[in-house]
């Protein structure tokens, strides 16, 4: 049972200008004025009980006042995990909103993916730039467990659940079902939520196994953030305990925080700068986007005008082998983060350190072989309008993603490799791979796909990374029903 976590009087979050900095923990950095992306080596959070080791962080401004972060880290169990968060700066001058998403943007309960709920709201004129799943629900009928208030109208009554709400004056609140009854006449948007995990800045201790989790937090400046932690995917992301989630919300600045629906429901979608459509950014543990009862929509009130304001430069924060060639690309964006055409003339590429190589007028970066991180800048008429960071490194980890592979006679399957440096994935040109394959097994093509022979057999395939001492082996069985045995 969860103890009574809040006093009867609702704790409205005080509204203050700016972003509260967590002393010694947060160092927000912007690499250029509009729509920045954070560097590999400049994390927002120092090492702490939640982020035992921060492997990588990518920070992107989706629209003014709306910031997305993607963290790769080792959790308290020293297991690799992935977290996506979105920060929303609320206030009279913020040009942002948090709205409730429902199936078809309507008032009847049912089930629809988060992305489809967001797209339905977009069809009705709402500029949705991010969305996340919200309340728990009946998976047979789609009826939410808690309250739903949409556009100031209660469309589903509250039961005994806690709630998250935006009041009519723009203040964000988290409270109990009793407090909802006290506040409901002053609520503009609300959804039910699970246990309250942060009470007046303190994590509420609990005990639950590692799962995909979704949580929401309110800071004391009235900014709101939502976090989606992927889980149940050992090769990719183990996930969190509920206790870990509570501490994560505190680390990220929550004064009040609560748990939303998780597991296979955990879904986070957003609009990549320079694109029109929303895309799913996390990896739902079901393998697909689950249909859910409701969602929270992050909306920008800034109207797209199609005029070039800056550029979203890709690849974003990737690691490559030394001597690689990397084609940089730039997507034009307007003041709202929506697509805009890049200028035909006046764009120039440059490196922050020319010793890392060269970059031509078309954005082709050719590595000199030097290892480390370099910033790639794009300028328009001499003014920087976009940047990203690229790392060149020799992997310190190189292995197949499974220990064995079964393939049917004359069948084929890709041989998936994991190459990493300090936990970050290293992108490898397949030309630097040397394959040793017994003739009786079959062959491996230039794309790393194994093609089995005509008879039942077994053996091992070895792959070596040229220029290093790294290699890995995988056992192959030909002629049995296909299966993969993972580490």
Do 280 and 323 have their domain in common? Answer: no
Q: What pLDDT, on the 0 to 100 scale, is given for residue 48?
A: 67
Which tokens in the block code for residue 121? 């709201």
Do 217 and 328 have their domain in common? Answer: no
For residue 152, tell me if it sits in a domain: yes
- What's the per-residue H, E or C state across the chain? CCCCCCCCCCCCCCCCCCCCCCCCCECCCCCCCCCCECCCCCCCECCCCCCCEEEEEEEEEEECCEEEEEEEEECCCCCEEEEEEEEECCCCCCCEEEEEECHHHCCCCCCEEHHHHHHHHHHCCCCEEEEEECCCECCCCCCECCCEEECCEEEECCCCCEEEEEECCCCEEEECHHHHHHHHHHEEEEEEECCEEEECCEECCCCCCCECEEEEEECCCCCEEEEEECCCECCCECCECHHHHHHHHHHCCCCEEEEECCHHHCCEEEECCCCCCEEECCCCCCCCCCEECCEEEEEECCCCCCCCCEEEEECCCEEECCCCEEECEEEEECCCCCECCCCCCCEEEEECCHHHEEECCCCEEEECCCCEEEEEEEEECCEEEEEEEEEECCCCEEEECEEEEEECCCCEEECCEEEEECCEEEECCHHHEEEECCCCCEEECCCCEEEECCCCEEEEEEEEECCCCCEEEEEEEECCCCCEEEC
Q: How many domains does the chain have?
A: 3
Rounded Cα distance, 173 and 168, in Å: 11
For residue 5, tell me if it sits in a domain: no
Do 460 and 408 have their domain in common? Answer: yes
CATH number for position 318: 2.60.40.1380
Tokens 């994560």 belong to 248
Q: Which of 242, 271, 300 is the last residue of a domain?
A: 300
Do 229 and 349 have their domain in common? Answer: no
Rounded Cα distance, 268 and 286, in Å: 14
Q: What pLDDT, on the 0 to 100 scale, is given for residue 14?
A: 35
For residue 18, tell me if it sits in a domain: no
Q: What pLDDT, on the 0 to 100 scale, is given for residue 25?
A: 32
Contact criterion met (CB below 8 Å) for 452 and 417: no
For residue 376, tell me if it sits in a domain: yes
Q: What pLDDT, on the 0 to 100 scale, is given for residue 10?
A: 38
Q: Which of 365, 392, 419 is the last residue of a domain?
A: 392
Q: What pLDDT, on the 0 to 100 scale, is given for residue 481?
A: 57
Q: Which of 366, 392, 418 is the last residue of a domain?
A: 392
Which tokens in the block code for residue 244? 């870990």
For residue 34, tell me if it sits in a domain: no
Domain that holds residue 125: 53-300
Do 355 and 414 have their domain in common? Answer: no
Give the other-Cβ count within 10 Å of 279's Cβ. Answer: 10
Do 198 and 62 have their domain in common? Answer: yes
The low-confidence residues of the chain, meaning pLDDT below 50, are 1-39, 482, 485-487
Radius of gyration of the chain (CA): 24
Contact criterion met (CB below 8 Å) for 320 and 327: no
For residue 246, tell me if it sits in a domain: yes
Do 136 and 263 have their domain in common? Answer: yes
Do 327 and 423 have their domain in common? Answer: no
For residue 487, tell me if it sits in a domain: no
Q: What pLDDT, on the 0 to 100 scale, is given for residue 444?
A: 96
Cβ-count burial 420-434 (b if 16+ within 10 Å, e if not): bbeebbbebeeeebe
């Amino acid at each position: 049972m969860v103890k009574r976590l809040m006093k009867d009087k609702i704790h409205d979050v005080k509204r203050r200008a700016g972003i509260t900095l967590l002393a010694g923990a947060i160092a927000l950095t912007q690499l250029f004025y509009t729509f920045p992306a954070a560097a590999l080596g400049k994390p927002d959070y120092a090492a702490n009980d939640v982020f035992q080791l921060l492997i990588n962080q990518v920070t992107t401004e989706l629209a003014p006042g709306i910031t997305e972060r993607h963290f790769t880290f080792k959790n308290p169990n020293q297991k690799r995990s992935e977290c996506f968060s979105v920060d929303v700066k609320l206030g009279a001058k913020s040009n942002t909103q948090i709205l409730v998403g429902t199936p078809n943007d309507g008032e009847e309960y049912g089930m629809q993916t988060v992305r489809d709920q967001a797209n339905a709201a977009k069809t009705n004129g709402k500029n949705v730039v991010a969305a996340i799943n919200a309340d728990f629900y009946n998976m047979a009928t789609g009826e939410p467990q808690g309250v739903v208030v949409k556009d100031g109208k209660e469309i589903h009554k509250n039961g005994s659940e806690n709630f998250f709400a935006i009041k009519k004056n723009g203040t964000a609140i988290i409270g109990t079902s009793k407090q909802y009854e006290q506040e409901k006449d002053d609520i503009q948007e609300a959804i039910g939520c699970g246990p309250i995990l942060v009470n007046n800045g303190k994590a509420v201790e609990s005990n639950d196994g590692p799962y995909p989790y979704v949580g929401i937090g309110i800071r004391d400046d009235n900014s709101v953030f939502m976090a989606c932690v992927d889980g149940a995917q050992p090769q990719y992301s183990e996930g969190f305990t509920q206790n870990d989630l509570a501490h994560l919300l505190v680390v990220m600045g929550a004064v009040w925080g609560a748990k939303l629906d998780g597991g296979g429901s955990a879904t986070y979608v957003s609009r990549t700068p320079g694109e029109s459509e929303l895309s799913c950014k996390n990896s739902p543990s079901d393998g697909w986007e689950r249909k859910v009862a409701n969602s929270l929509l992050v909306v920008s009130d800034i109207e797209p005008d199609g005029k070039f304001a800056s550029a979203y430069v890709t690849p974003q924060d990737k690691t490559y082998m030394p001597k690689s060639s990397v084609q940089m690309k730039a997507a034009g964006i307007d003041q709202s983060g929506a697509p805009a055409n890049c200028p035909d003339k006046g764009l120039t590429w440059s490196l922050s350190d020319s010793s890392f190589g060269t970059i031509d007028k078309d954005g082709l970066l050719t590595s000199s072989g030097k290892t480390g991180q370099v910033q790639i800048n794009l300028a328009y008429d001499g003014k920087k309008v976009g940047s990203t960071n690229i790392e060149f490194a020799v992997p310190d980890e190189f292995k197949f993603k499974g220990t064995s592979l079964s393939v049917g006679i004359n069948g084929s399957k890709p041989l998936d490799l994991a190459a990493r440096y300090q936990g970050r994935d290293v992108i490898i040109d397949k030309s630097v791979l040397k394959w040793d394959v017994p003739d009786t097994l079959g062959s491996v093509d230039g794309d790393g796909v194994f093609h089995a022979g005509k008879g039942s057999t077994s053996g091992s395939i070895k792959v070596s990374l040229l220029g290093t001492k790294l290699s890995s082996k995988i056992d192959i069985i030909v002629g049995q029903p296909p299966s993969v045995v993972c580490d």
